[in-house]
Amino acid sequence: MVGLLLLLWRAGGRNRGKEIRWSTPRLHQICHRPEWIKQMKLDRLGVLMIGILISAASVIAVSFGEAANALTAPTVTWKKSPLLPSTSYATSALASSNSSGAKVWSVSGSCILRRGKITTLDSGSCTLRLTINARGKFLAKSFSKRFVIVKNTNPTATTAQPGTTAPITTSPSAVTTTLPPLSLRFITRTSANGLGTNDVRDVYVVGPTVYAATYGGVSISTDGGNTFTNRTTANGLRSYSVYGVFATGSTVYAAMNDGLAISTNGGRNFTYRTTASGLGSNTVLSVFATGSTVYAATMYGLSISTNGGTTFTSRDHRNGLNINGVQVWDLSVVGSTVYAATTQTLGISTDGGTTFTTRTTANGLGDNLVTDVFATGSTVYVVTKAGLSISANGGATFRTAATNSELGVNRISEVYVDGSTIYLATDGGLFISL
């Protein structure tokens, strides 16, 4: 640009009051077209004015280019969760965006999209996808959210929506959980999807993040279980055999045969807790955490920490966990109720793990050898040697929902439930209900 200005300045000085002859015939012809400029007579002031105009045009062009590169991604606020069964919702009632771009909806699962409204079926869940086309300063982008369909039996209760500060007044008893059908359908994830091995012993889910305990390390997925990355001895684990996994925030707990491994950075690095920290055994089979309380299921009882896993105290047969032995395979906690899966019974404590009562086949369990338990509200999912048993009344009675033979596996190691989706860790891979 400076060179062009100097060139024009020199031209204006040499050709003041004269017709300019341009460097090429073609350029001379163009510059002398009557419709553009018949004869260009320049002086230095004219040259300066042309230079200013050219510079201004360049600045404007650059500004437009920078504005084009300054496009931002739109944001979406989901306004409902969960959805009621057999109910129609206007799409505007489900989500709002800061972008004025055109919005295109699509649904899958237990919802129907028709004429700008989404209608839910009687039960299940559905995934809603919102695509916002580019407009103004925004880029095109798609958003999706899975909604669970539940029946609210307390219409006067209020539930805070995402992005608001309204208090949550709906109690767990106000929502009924519909039990899955007896015949469950699953998709399978294996080492081909990044799992450490196909032998999955435990699974834990937080939103789209799925943690799987395998005999090849801790496998972590951030896309809902489609693909996994693996954490091994290179990340501080002392071995590859992981029996259980639990996560809260950036803290990940891994139950190992040589202690309890704890990561505070999302699983990138691990440190250990052992019998020196009060664990009943260095063989830790499962782990559960709520706040600063950490429950560790060990070969010799249930160990409980109230300081984030720094030190532990143990519970055993003297607390009613078992009759002959105290091997605890897994546990789940809802409030002050602790469910412990043991080699001979399901132990249930209503006082935070101080004392226990037992449940067996007499209460409907598929088998007395209980290897895993998961509880949400009053619904309790129990894995036995005979398959998956489910209770809808807090563990008072059970029915068998799926047997090992029905799934084509020899062993179910763990069950985890997220809304209406059931995850089963088996010796044949990770099963995810449809």
**The domain that contains 372 carries what CATH number?**
2.130.10.10
What are the Cα distances from residue 36, in Å, to 21, 54, 76, 120, 148? 16, 16, 51, 66, 68
What are the Cα distances from residue 311, in Å, to 238, 257, 285, 340, 360? 20, 18, 17, 20, 32
What is the pLDDT confidence band of residue 162, given thresholds at 50, 70 and 90? very low
Is residue 112 over pLDDT 70?
Answer: yes
Least reliable range by pLDDT among 117-131, 163-177, 294-308, 414-428: 163-177
How many Å apart are CA 1 and CA 178, to the nearest integer?
A: 73
Per the listing, tokens 């089963």 go with: 424
What is the pLDDT confidence band of residue 332, given thresholds at 50, 70 and 90? confident
Domain co-membership, 418 together with 286: yes
Helix (H, G, I), strand (E, B) or coil at 32: coil
What is the pLDDT confidence band of residue 116, given thresholds at 50, 70 and 90? low
Are β-strands 186-189 and 175-176 bridged in parallel, bridged antiparallel, or unpaired? unpaired
Average pLDDT over residues 394-422: 85
DSSP class per residue in 147-207:
EEE-EES-TT---PPTT--PPP---GGGEEPPPPPSS--EEEE-GGGT-S-S-EEEEEEET
Highest mean pLDDT among 163-167, 170-174, 247-251, 419-423: 247-251
Q: Is residue 203 part of a domain?
A: yes
What's the pLDDT score for residue 222? 93
pTM above threshold 0.85: no
Domain co-membership, 342 together with 403: yes
Is residue 384 over pLDDT 70?
Answer: yes
Domain co-membership, 88 together with 205: no
Domain co-membership, 227 together with 89: no
Are β-strands 284-290 and 242-248 bridged in parallel, bridged antiparallel, or unpaired? unpaired
Q: Is residue 63 part of a domain?
A: no
**34-60 per-position pLDDT tens digit:** 444 444 444 554 545 555 555 555 544
What is the pLDDT confidence band of residue 62, given thresholds at 50, 70 and 90? very low
Range of the domain at 153: 76-158
Which one-letter amino acid corresponds to residue 238? R
How many Å apart are CA 132 and CA 372, to the nearest integer?
A: 43
Domain co-membership, 130 together with 192: no
Domain co-membership, 134 together with 196: no
| Total count of domains within the chain | 2
Higher pLDDT, 1 or 221: 221
Q: Is residue 67 part of a domain?
A: no
**369-381 per-position pLDDT tens digit:** 898 899 998 999 9
Least reliable range by pLDDT among 18-27, 80-89, 185-194: 18-27
Q: Is residue 423 part of a domain?
A: yes
Does residue 34 have a cis bond before it (omega within 30 degrees)?
no
What's the pLDDT score for residue 260? 96
How many Å apart are CA 398 and CA 401, to the nearest integer?
A: 9
Domain co-membership, 286 together with 193: yes
Domain co-membership, 137 together with 202: no
What is the pLDDT confidence band of residue 1, given thresholds at 50, 70 and 90? low
**224-278 per-position pLDDT tens digit:** 899 999 999 999 999 999 998 999 999 999 999 999 999 999 999 999 999 999 9
Q: Is residue 51 part of a domain?
A: no
Helix (H) or strand (E) holding 48: helix 44-69
